[in-house]
Each structure stands twice: as structure tokens, then as C-alpha cells.
A and B are shown apart, each in its own frame.
Chain A
Amino acid sequence: MPRIIVDVMPKPEILDPQGKAIANELPRIGLTGFTGVRQGRRFELTVAGEVTDEVLAQAREAAEKLLSNPVIEDVVSVSELAEEN
């Protein structure tokens, strides 16, 4: 079954407490190569048939209307997952 991937991230100007907590912990476990962490969310929408432009448009609408909260989050990508196998 084809899938559409939606990635949602907190808006850059919005505090991301989750990312902050993880970023603070990384150096404590010896991983010092990172200056920041932001934590977003990934959704996988399964499609029955082909991923047409229309289905993608619906996914974009779902992302804007339901999957993200436009007050504090951005939809950063809506894309078809490349076939596995």
C-alpha cells in the first residue's frame, strides 16, 4: 500500500521543550557533536490506490487542518514514501 509521509515541526520561533531536554542530555552521555535538537512529528497516511495529485492535495489539507496546529506548528513536508522492497 502506498503511503504519504507528513512531517510536522514546531515553528522555529516557538519554544520546543522536548528538543531542549534532549539537547541538554546529549553531551552528558558523551555525544557532543550537536548544538541543538528540535523534535517534530511524522505521520504516515496509507492510501488504497495510487497517490494522485488529488490524494496529495488531500494529504496537504489533512496536514494543515488536522495533523498540525497552525498556531504553533509548521507542516514541513508532505510527500509520497518511495516504494520499499
Chain B
Amino acid sequence: MAQHLTAEQTPLVADLDQPAPDARLADVRVGVVTFPGTLDDRDAARAVDIAGGTSVPLWYADEDLQGVDAVILPGGFSYGDYLRAGAIARFAPLMGRIVDAASGDGGMPVLGICNGFQVLTEAHLLPGSMIKNEQLKFICRDQRLRVENAETSWAGRFTAGQEIVVPLKNQDGQYVADQRTLDELEAEHRVAFRYVGGNPNGSRNDIAGITNARGNVVGLMPHPEHAVEPGFGADLSGAGTVGMREGTDGLDVFVSVLERLTR
């Protein structure tokens, strides 16, 4: 059993045993987009800041990316998810700029979390789509994942095959795609994260997250931004037992992109 920190030992923000974050990381500006109905925008921004970077709030109706180096489309229910999850958000003016920046020469890193993943599929930056969970219910739980591809812009801190635990919470989280697309994703190692220890929602091939061919655009259904801070994270960790809500496996998703951009 891992050492259990007493209250006195519990750091307020991050694990004090970790080496201090590289000061250059603070120069990396990561945009966090707010659509009407976005919910986890402040959480994603907090995760970027805890990882050592600088979060920049972006408003869906603006035309300007404000010179950010990477973009996160956070979770939530944009436009209530009333038509299809992500279906309306993808028409936002800012989405055009994001699609251009992600597809352009620079290949700007983009991470879509949950609803953001759904927006990326509706915007055709990533293949496939999300339908209602198999159980037809909202599911909130700590979820074990395997990092399948550690080469993407958002996974450099992990090693391929590493297991992590981050919270999963959604209503429409079942990833579906036609067989040809699934075969392609598998053949090209574009399944970025896979559910392990049980498929929570019926996703094809246990897919939790995928990437585009260049590895800069990643969509991930579970929420790494909710496992970044001891005391407010997951109850579990891929590395073993941790104290109540001390699981911070998600933090390295954000550190990864900062390191990639300072390299």
C-alpha cells in the first residue's frame, strides 16, 4: 500500500516531491474555449495552470485565437446537447480558426474532452461519433484507462501501455464508427486511450480517446482535468492505492502538451 499522507503532509496544490515545474512551461499559453453550456472550462483552465502553463479563456463567438499555442475544448453540454452532442457548437466562429490552426502547417495541439471530443467529431477533425451510453444513463465514476499511444501531443509524459485513472462523467459517451474507420484507427495506432477493467458505456473497441494521424488533435471522453489536484482528484490511481480523492493521474496530460511546446 502506498504511503498515506496525513493532512499536514498533504500539499495544497501539487505533490511537493515532484521536481519544480520547468519555468519555461509558464510561457506556453493554452486556450480554453467556453461555449454556451460549457461546464468544465474553469476546471480545464485550472489544470493547465497547475501543470505549470498559462491558461487563456477563449469565447466561442470571438474570431481570434489570441495567439495561443494549444487549445482545449472542455466538457459540458454545449447548447444543451439538445440536437446531438457538439452538433451546434461546431459552427461557432472560433471553431473555424481552431480547425485551421489544427490542420495547418503548425499543427496546433487541440484536446477535446468529453463534449469537446464530441465537438471535434462533429467538426470532422476526428472520425466517428458518440451516442448515448449503453445503459441509457448518465455515468459518473473513476475510470481506468490504458495509454495506447504515448506519441500524441497530449501524452508524452506517459509510456505506451501505462494505466491511469481519471473520472468519467457523461450521458452520450459511447464511441461508434463504421468498421472500416475502426480498423484504420487500430492499424494506424490512433486509439490514444482505451478503457480497461470493463467498458463503461459500450464504446466500440473499448475506445476512450483517439487522435488524428499527426497526433496533435486528441479527443478523450473521460476527464483528466478532474484528476490534477490532491484532495479533489480521483479516488484511485493507475499506480496503486491513493488517499481519498488524491488521484492525480490526469495532470500529465496537461504537462505533456506544455513540454511538447517548449521542446
Contact = CB atoms under 8 A, between A and B. Distances in A.
Contact size class for A?
A: under 10
A21 B79 contact: yes
A29 B96 CA distance: 12
B96 to A, nearest CB: 12
B91 A21 contact: no
B88 interface: yes
B88 A25 contact: yes
Contacts of B79: 21, 25
A22 B91 contact: no
A21 to B, nearest CB: 4
B83 A22 contact: yes
B161 interface: no
A22 B88 CA distance: 8
Interface string A62-82: 000000000000000000000
Given A18-B82, A22-B82, A29-B91, 17 more contacts: A17-B80, A17-B82, A18-B80, A18-B83, A21-B79, A21-B80, A21-B82, A21-B83, A21-B88, A22-B83, A22-B88, A25-B79, A25-B88, A25-B91, A28-B91, A39-B82, A39-B83
Interface of B: 79-80, 82-83, 88, 91
